[in-house]
Structure 1
Amino acid sequence: MNRKISHFILILLIGTGSMLGQAFSFGLDNSAVMGANNKDSIPNDTLIKIALIPDSIVKMVESNAPAEPAKAECPEESEIVLEEEIKETPVAESEEAELKDTIAAKPLEIPIPPGIFKDSEFTFVLDDAALTIIDQLVEELYTAHACIDTLTKQHNPYDFCPDQEPIYTATEYEKRIDYLNQQTPFPLSYNKVVHKFIELYALRRRDQVSRMLGLSELYFPMFTELLSQYDLPLELKYLAIVESALRPNAGSRAGAKGLWQFMYRTGKIYGLEVTSYTDERFDPYQSTVAACEYLSFLYGIYDDWGLVLAAYNSGPGRVNRAIRRSGGKRDYWEIWRHLPRETRGYVPAFIAVNYIMEYATEHNIYPTPPPFLNHQSDTVVVRERITFEHIEKVIGVPEEVLAYLNPMYTQNIIPGIVGESYALTLPVNKIGDFINNKQAIVLYKTEQERIDSAEKAITLEKEKTFMQETKLTHTVRYGEVLGLIAQKYNAKISEVKAWNDLSSSRIYVGQKLTIYTGKKPSVVSSKVAASANKKAESKDEKFKYHTIQSGDTLWDIAKLYDGVTITELKKLNQIDNAKKLKPGMKIKIAPISS
């Protein structure tokens, strides 16, 4: 079987000529795939094996796995006791509630292939088979070198028991932080305050640390690239953990938004625009660029990274006041007691995050795989108005996935303003489908949208016909004024002026005025009429109901009942926005035949 597959791919490579030759040129230049870091690159013969035998990557990883150490005895009871509760933490305020229902908590399943669409007719264009294979090979390459290992818990180097929570001496913590300090220009030091935050993350927030370890695979490659471009310490990537726990849609009660928790005014200074449709503070890339520029600006002022972080958290004004109260000291720990209470915990938390993210394995904490790794998504440029609903209908990417990858579009709509371009992030395996079916997405209309569009056209046509049928011309006679003419035809002076583009009430003898007589016909939309009919019918009709459970979507509910579609559910329950559905609500499924 493997031999046949290998031959098929080989023939495909030959048949597509120079295009595939260019696509696989990264085999001759490792820097095109893994960057300039040669020690992380894969030799050319490995790439050939990946192309012909995809399972070879797994074998390669397993063959290089370290030998398992001697198994340790698991304690019967946990001996870990926290001496005191940490009342103040500088983590984003929006984290107060446990994010059990966050999309990052579990991988999202994308329905493939797209389903049958009843709302709008179009021809779905499949992606090029050769390009699809190339995408798969590149994904295998990057996945093989991702830090995420779903089997880590079975192969942890210390052979911890599943529920074991290791704790170490202060001397060991100090030794490890000193080792990290030697690798960064940022002053990482160990003290009692830092120790409390290490225990907070290592003991009480273990699940959160596991989730952040997974999300780091999505965001840290981009953070590292931009921090390097701005010549900033790479450890500043951990600042986003302190700010938002790596949640791009995080928001605080004070109004800070996004991964880097920008307030509106500061974000505006660094080019982060906010409109009714978009909030660029939620854009992972643009907000990271803004954070790099702001951190560079602060370092140019203080020349001390501890003071830079304090100013990032509380603002330069508060840091300057603390410097004055300390007698002009310009070291974070020397002005520490003069800073706001939240900021006094900010730098210690940052140091503790540096520690726990580097030594998570030593604390028996392993990554929770995120919905996407960094290489599993890509962007396309969009200039037209497109809704997430239409993208889902045409290429099958769920709205929840689109919202997760594109948090900056707050209404799930790309506005498409003339002259503007927008970045849309999609799963890599859907990029081809989007490009091939972009026109179908732009022109797509749901059944309700087509009804609304038809009603609008009918209303305009009726008004146009009415205006033509009641139009007459009045010739101004001697002694007439505009008020008398308007009164004669039961019209208002303002209407007569509007019909004739008059800027004043002055008229002259012999002037011809256009007049529309009678009243406009009242137009009752079919939507309203249908609603009234439904209310009348519902008195005599019985329905089968479904009680909404947590996590239910209309798509999930429709699958539970034979012959039921999302469109029918929306129409039967008059649902305009599926987001308004809450657990416990009952919706109609179908009439019960008597």
Structure 2
Amino acid sequence: MKYLTFLLLPIILFANLRYESNHNNELKILESFDIEPSFLNDPTMNEVRSDKTSISKNQHFFTAMNNAYIFIPTIKNILNKNNIPQEFLYLAMAESNFKTKAYSNKSASGLWQFMSRTGKGYNLKIDSYVDERRDLIKSTKAASQYLSSLHKRFGKWYLAAIAYNCGGGRLSKAIDRAGSDKLSVLLDEDKKYIPRESRYYIRKIVALALIGNDEQFMLKSEYEHLLNRANAYSIATVKLSSGESLKRVAKILNMPLENLKKLNRHLKYDFVPPYATKYDVYIPYLKLAEFKQNYFEAPIKNIYRVHIVSSGDNLSYIGQLYGVPYKMIMDFNSMKNSRLKLKQKLIIPTHSNEKMKKVRKRFSYVVKRGDSLGSISEVHKISVKNIKSYNQITGSLIRIGDKLKLYE
């Protein structure tokens, strides 16, 4: 028996040390949120934690972490620079599951799920070409500013997290009604000081942070490499000129286009906005040296198709031909109006090896007695508006013998 005890003693001691170490780590995580240690005993939080680590759910957790592997160090770095606890990384996970393209039924978008108005309030550009709520760096900087302002207002990080979910005004009213800003009071299930969603939300963030920092849980999985994230697996920012193509950049970097697009979901199309002299595009940090060595700016006419205007062309027809909005053609060619000139060269933002859209063949129709724009429209299945547009007709008057351009 003594011999057996002697053999088992190191194992028992190691297990106790491991438990003590993990417990201390959990307390540090709670401290980063300004939450009391007793919250580790919160039954609902532990239920969320248990659910997320169940066999059926932990794959979902690890998949989300693995998909964000390349940019998690960058997010943590931005949070750290703005004095935001790194555990707020898991607020982004709770919001979007680390999907930069995430879009909610309430029209919130991006990693941090900004509403359009809030995003614009933090200088995130949203237009026909970009939605910077999906820009993983700019949106994280905006979220850091927002969280800092909430922390300054409420004084505790768990309150900043709750306010991020339900709004500062609603939380202020809840604190006034409760007569306290203690988490245990605000989470009262009977009094319901804060919305049910917010009561779950703070528990979910804490549970995710505890799971993500549980070394033993990670080591038991096939994703233990997530514990060794290094800055080398982060991203770099490069400045690209107006209209530069992601397809071309991906080819220069010898990487799949889809991988480059995943880092640049803020671009609505696969190119830099035509109005931007220089614009931020993200590449894997490991590709930065290759970019500096091999990248060169090419004339935009060498990147895209060039269309030479012929008789009868208009922007609407050209746009249909190439599958490009006519407004985009105007933007790429710095056109102030839609007037075209014969043999004018237009840059069309579509790659030369892409198939053009099949459009209806244009033909002429000679106006006969009794014809009107309405009758011609009905017979040829083309709107009066388009007939007038194709033929520069301002009113509704047409004459016998007039030759009208139509489509079949």
Specify if TM > 0.5.
Answer: yes
1:355 matched to 2:210: yes
The SS at the match of 1:426 is: strand
1:383–1:417 Cα contact (<8 Å) kept: no
Distance 1:375 1:222 in 2: 10
Distance 2:267 2:273 in 1: 9
1:218: how far off? 2.2
1:407 matched to 2:265: yes
Q: Which moved more, 1:257-266 or 1:381-390?
A: 381-390
Distance 1:263 1:229 in 2: 24
Structure with the greater alpha carbon radius of gyration: 1
2:253–2:290 Cα contact (<8 Å) kept: no
1:378 matched to 2:236: yes
Compared CA separation, residues 357 and 433, structure 1 to 2 (3 A): closer
2:108–2:115 Cα contact (<8 Å) kept: yes
Aligned length: 295
Compared CA separation, residues 440 and 175, structure 1 to 2 (3 A): closer
1:177: how far off? 5.3
The SS at the match of 1:254 is: coil
1:185 matched to 2:32: yes
1:305: how far off? 1.8
1:399: how far off? 2.9
2:124–2:138 Cα contact (<8 Å) kept: yes
1:331 matched to 2:182: yes
1:195: how far off? 1.1
User: What are the superposed Cα offsets for residues 48-95 of structure 1, whole Å, 9 maximum, x if unpaired?
Assistant: xxxxxxxxxxxxxxxxxxxxxxxxxxxxxxxxxxxxxxxxxxxxxxxx
1:401: how far off? 1.9
Compared CA separation, residues 215 and 393, structure 1 to 2 (3 A): closer
1:238: how far off? 1.9
Compared CA separation, residues 261 and 432, structure 1 to 2 (3 A): same
The SS at the match of 2:297 is: helix
* Partner residue of 1:220 out of 59, 68, 72: 72
Distance 1:433 1:299 in 2: 40
Structural mapping, 1:90-489, within 5 Å: 176=22, 179-182=25-28, 184-186=31-33, 187=35, 189-190=39-40, 191-203=42-54, 204-215=56-67, 217-326=69-178, 328-336=179-187, 337-359=192-214, 361-362=216-217, 364-367=220-223, 375-376=232-233, 377-392=235-250, 396-417=254-275, 420-427=277-284, 428-429=286-287, 432-433=290-291, 436-440=294-298, 442-446=300-304, 449-450=305-306, 453-454=307-308, 456=309, 458-459=310-311
1:368: how far off? 8.4
Q: What's the TM-score once normalised by structure 1's chain length?
A: 0.44
Distance 2:149 2:181 in 1: 17
Q: Which residue of 1 aligns with 2:330?
A: none
Compared CA separation, residues 389 and 241, structure 1 to 2 (3 A): same
Alignment RMSD, CA only? 3.6
Compared CA separation, residues 398 and 223, structure 1 to 2 (3 A): closer
1:282: how far off? 0.7
The SS at the match of 2:239 is: strand
Structural mapping, 1:55-94, within 5 Å: none
1:460: how far off? 9.4
User: What are the superposed Cα offsets for residues 321-342 of structure 1, whole Å, 9 maximum, x if unpaired?
Assistant: 222332x211232122221111
Listed as ranges, the gaps of 5+ residues in structure 2 are 1-13, 314-340, 344-351, 360-408
The SS at the match of 2:60 is: helix
Aligned residue identity for 1:413:
F
Compared CA separation, residues 445 and 305, structure 1 to 2 (3 A): closer
1:386–1:414 Cα contact (<8 Å) kept: yes
Distance 2:288 2:312 in 1: 40
The SS at the match of 1:324 is: helix
Listed as ranges, the gaps of 5+ residues in structure 1 are 1-156, 159-171, 462-520, 524-565, 576-594
Distance 1:177 1:290 in 2: 33
Structure of higher RCO (CA pairs closer than 8 Å, 6+ residues apart)? 1
* Partner residue of 2:355 out of 536, 558, 570: 570
Q: What's the TM-score once normalised by structure 2's chain length?
A: 0.63
1:212–1:367 Cα contact (<8 Å) kept: no
